[in-house]
Amino acid sequence: MHKDGNAIAGMLMEIFEVEMTTERRTCQSCGQANEIGAHLLYAGAGYVLRCPNCGDMAAAIATVPDAPRITMFGSWSVEPPAR
């Protein structure tokens, strides 16, 4: 069972300090660009985001005592917050 990437919006906000669910990621395997919120989220010992088109891994997130740790794959496009 999976949810969409919107389910970890709060955690992504903690990591990046910007709203990430509307940012886009281009998959390293299929080349499709999708919003992070559209990615498939699988939860277990941590979280795995997968491309909604081909299912390849987009990110792996582990929660450790001091802070979340993320490994990202593909090309993420993030707009910095307005100052």
Predicted confidence (pLDDT) per residue in 6-46, tens digit? 999 999 998 888 899 999 999 999 999 999 999 999 998 89
pLDDT band at residue 81 under the 50/70/90 scheme: low
Are the CB atoms for 68 and 35 separated by under 8 Å? no
The tokens of 83 are what? Answer: 């100052």
Tell me which of 79 and 71 has the higher pLDDT.
71
Phi, psi of 6 (to 5 degrees): -65, -20
pLDDT of 67 strictly over 90:
no
What pTM does this model have?
Answer: 0.87
